[in-house]
Chain A
């Protein structure tokens, strides 16, 4: 089964930079799921890809998804982090007034 799966893969598709595994991974899991070496490879693959419209779409999609994910994870401000912020605000107000 293992060999069948391995040989069943299309090597041409893997060599094609536009649909490389790294680009697929970045699109599926986000750019930050890539290691540093993978990020370099991701940019190399995008550079090598001749379909510039596709490159633009991938870049926009990855960028937007990451911004949405970042905003989602930091949209709530509760617990210790908010208390910390209130302390700083109070401290700055005191410094302004005194």
Chain B
């Protein structure tokens, strides 16, 4: 009798073990096959803003610019897939304009900075359709830097045995504003870790030329008509 009880007891323990084993593997596999994914993207975009008073045609002071400064955006960003159909991330599109203004180096930057919320699905293997909405906190910067000599610095440095100082002076005016980006995209996975993504949509901005900041003081800035901009983007996605 005791021997029979022992067998039943041992069988119960074994079945418990099997259940634990199956549960463990079920949890393990469901987690491992649906691992969250972190992706990093690099790419570019095309848009056509009306940058009034930041254009050599409308403002003779501003240095001439190429299409890189006018229409091209340079993009990078990071996204985290926290659900099989959903991603959240940070993305940035920058527009640069470099040139010479008198003796100074001129640099104008517009950064479209987005917190992206994206849902997606795979209509077929390797192919993904995605839908993105992103609140933006954008920043515009105009920076001038020039080399300037200082007699006082020269006298100090010469007392130490140096020849002369090569100093640069720079000033920067900045402006921040809110916006919203909405885009639809198509992504093709070449590998599980590499994909090409194309997006089309709109960037909306609540920009006003007032209240730019220069050394803490409020100044008037350029009038840019960037209220509603159609945008096209191509990104190279690297994930792991």
Bound-state CA distance A92–B132 (Å) is 11
Inter-chain contacts of B228 with A (CB < 8 A): 95
Q: Which of B85, B86, B132, B228 has the most CB of A within 10 A?
A: B85
Does A73 lie at the interface of the complex (its beta carbon under 8 Å from any beta carbon of B)? yes
**A67 with B202: CB separation less than 8 A:** no
Given the interface pairs A33-B35, A95-B182, the reply to whether A71 lies near B131 with Cβ below 8 Å is no
Interface residues of B in 170-189 (CB under 8 A from A): 182-184, 189
* Minimum distance in angstroms from B81 CB to a CB of chain A: 9
**B189 with A81: CB separation less than 8 A:** no
Interface residues of A in 67-90 (CB under 8 A from B): 67-71, 73-77, 81-82, 84-85, 87-89
- State the main secondary structure of chain B at its contact with A: strand
Inter-chain contacts of B85 with A (CB < 8 A): 74, 77, 81
Given the interface pairs A32-B32, A32-B35, the reply to whether A75 lies near B192 with Cβ below 8 Å is no
Chain A residue at minimal CB-CB distance from B125: A71
- Tell which of B34, B117, B191, B201 touches A73, judged by Cβ atoms closer than 8 Å: B34
- Tell which of B32, B133, B192, B204 touches A29, judged by Cβ atoms closer than 8 Å: B32
Inter-chain contacts of A75 with B (CB < 8 A): 121-122
- Tell which of B122, B132, B240 touches A88, judged by Cβ atoms closer than 8 Å: B132
Chain B residue at minimal CB-CB distance from A39: B240
